[in-house]
Amino acid sequence: MAMESNSSPNSLGEEARNWLELPADVTSMILLKLGPVDILTNAQDVCSSWRKICEDPLMWRVVDMRYSGDWWDMDYDLEEMCRQAVDRSCGQLIYIKIEHFGTDDLLQYITQSSNQLRELRLVYCNRISDEGLIKAVSKLPLLEDLEISFGSFDVETLETLGQCRPLLKSLKLNRQFYRRVECDKGALAIAENMPNLRHLQIFGNSLTNRGLEAILDGCPDLESLDLRQCFNLNLAGQLGAKCSEKIKNLRLPHDPTDDYEFSTEIVEYGDDYEEDYGYPFGLSDTDLLTDDDDYYEFSGGSDFSDYTDLYFY
C-alpha cells in the first residue's frame, strides 16, 4: 500500500489530501474497511501513527477473514494471522468470521481469549471437528449469532449446540441443494433445540413440509426465515399461508439470489461435492439415491403417498 506523504496539486488545481494527516478516528474507519489481513501485511507498516491505530484493541472487536483469492497467491499463514488478530483484541472480540481455513486448535484459542464473542461464522471450515465445534460454542455464554455453512457436521452436533446455547437468536446453516434428496433431520434438530431463534437462514436445505412445519411450531419467535433453494417445499397451501402470516421477512424457495454471497449451484447425485466438503447436517450416503433406485427414501420413513404434493427439480 503506497501513500503520498507530501501534498501535490491535482488536476483541478486543488491541493491533494495528505492521508497521513487525517484525524485518527477517520483513519480508523478507513483501516477497518481493509480487513485484518491487509492491516497485518500492509497498512500497519505505512507509518508510526497508523501502526499505533492498528494496535488499538477497538480495531479488532470485529475480525472478518472471509475468503480472498489473493490470500492463497501470497501463501499467507491465515491461522497465525487470525491468532494475531485475536491477541490484538485483548479480550474485546465480539464478532469473528473464518472462511476456508480453521482448526479445532484455532477455535479453542479464540474461545480461551474471547469469552465476549457474540457472533461466530464458520464457512467451508472442514478441518473443524464436531467435538471441536461443540467445545468452542459451549465456552461462549454471550453467543447470539451462529453461522455454520458448507460444513460436514453430524446432526447430533446441531442438537448439542442448541442445547448448550438455548438463547441463540440467529442461525445460518447454508449449503448447496441436492436434487432428489429429502432430509428433515437438521430441521427437526433446530425445531426441538433452538426455541428462541429470531432469524434463520437455511439456504439450499433438503427439508420437506414436515421439517418446516416443525420449525414454525418449535421456534415461535421467528421474525425472518430464508428458504431460498429449498426446493422440496410446497408452499402453495396452508403451510405457505402460515409462513406468510407468521414471518415478517420471508424468502421463498424461488426468490432471487442476487444478494447471496456463495455459489447457488444445484448438486446432482454423483457429483464430487461430498468428497470435497462432506455431507451437510443431517445427510449421509443413505440419503443419496442413484438413478437406479425405484423409490425415494424420506426422512420420516413414511410411504411415498405421504409426499405426493412435493415437487422435485
Give a three-class secondary structure readout of the chain: CCCCCCCCECCCCCECCCHHHCCHHHHHHHHHCCCHHHHHHCHHHCCHHHHHHHCCHHHHCEEEECCCHHHHHHCCCHHHHHHHHHHHHCCCCCEEEEECCCCHHHHHHHHHHCCCCCEEEEECCCCCCHHHHHHHHCCCCCCCEEEEECCCCCHHHHHHHHHHCCCCCEEECCCCCECCCCCCHHHHHHHHHCCCCCEEECCCCCCCHHHHHHHHHHCCCCCEEECCCCCCCCCCCHHHHHHHHHCCEEECCCCCCCCCCCCCCCECCCCCHHHHHCCCCCCCHHHCCCCCCCCCCCCCCCCHHHHCCCCCC
Summarize the confidence of residues 268-289 as an average pLDDT. Answer: 49
Give a three-class secondary structure readout of 43-110: HHHCCHHHHHHHCCHHHHCEEEECCCHHHHHHCCCHHHHHHHHHHHHCCCCCEEEEECCCCHHHHHHH
Minimum mean pLDDT among 78-92, 192-206, 219-233, 284-298: which range? 284-298
Greater pLDDT, 76 or 305: 76
The domain tally of the chain equals 1
Highest mean pLDDT among 52-61, 72-81, 217-226: 217-226
Q: Domain range spanning residue 199?
A: 169-259
**pLDDT beyond 60 at 297:** no
CA distances from 139 to 20, 80, 154, 162 (A): 41, 21, 20, 13
Q: What is the pLDDT of residue 183?
A: 94
Q: In what order do the strands lie in the sheet with 145-149?
A: 62-65, 95-99, 119-123, 145-149, 170-172, 199-201, 224-226, 249-251
Any domain includes 234: yes
Q: What is the pLDDT of residue 24?
A: 67
Q: What is the pLDDT of residue 7?
A: 43
pLDDT in tens, 156-201: 999 999 999 988 999 999 999 988 889 999 999 999 999 999 999 9
**pLDDT beyond 50 at 296:** no
pLDDT mean across residues, the chain? 81
Kindly tell me the burial class for residue 288, based on how many C-beta atoms sit within 10 Å of its own C-beta (0-12, 13-18, 19 or more).
Answer: buried
**pLDDT beyond 50 at 14:** no
**pLDDT beyond 70 at 87:** yes
Q: What is the pLDDT of residue 255?
A: 97
**pLDDT beyond 70 at 15:** no
Any domain includes 210: yes
Tell me the pLDDT band of 110, cut-offs 50, 70 and 90: very high
Kindly tell me the burial class for residue 294, based on how many C-beta atoms sit within 10 Å of its own C-beta (0-12, 13-18, 19 or more).
Answer: exposed
Greater pLDDT, 9 or 311: 9
Amino acid at 228: R
Q: What percent of the chain has pLDDT over 90?
A: 58
Any domain includes 89: no
Any domain includes 250: yes
Minimum mean pLDDT among 57-61, 136-140, 211-215, 271-275: which range? 271-275
Highest mean pLDDT among 188-202, 273-287, 289-303: 188-202
Any domain includes 185: yes
Tell me the pLDDT band of 280, cut-offs 50, 70 and 90: low
Q: What is the pLDDT of residue 145?
A: 98
Greater pLDDT, 28 or 280: 28
Minimum mean pLDDT among 18-22, 95-99, 163-167: which range? 18-22
Residues 230 and 313: their CA atoms lie apart, in Å, by: 11
**pLDDT beyond 80 at 223:** yes
Any domain includes 188: yes
**pLDDT beyond 90 at 106:** yes
Any domain includes 60: no
Residues 279 and 237: their CA atoms lie apart, in Å, by: 31
Amino acid at 130: D
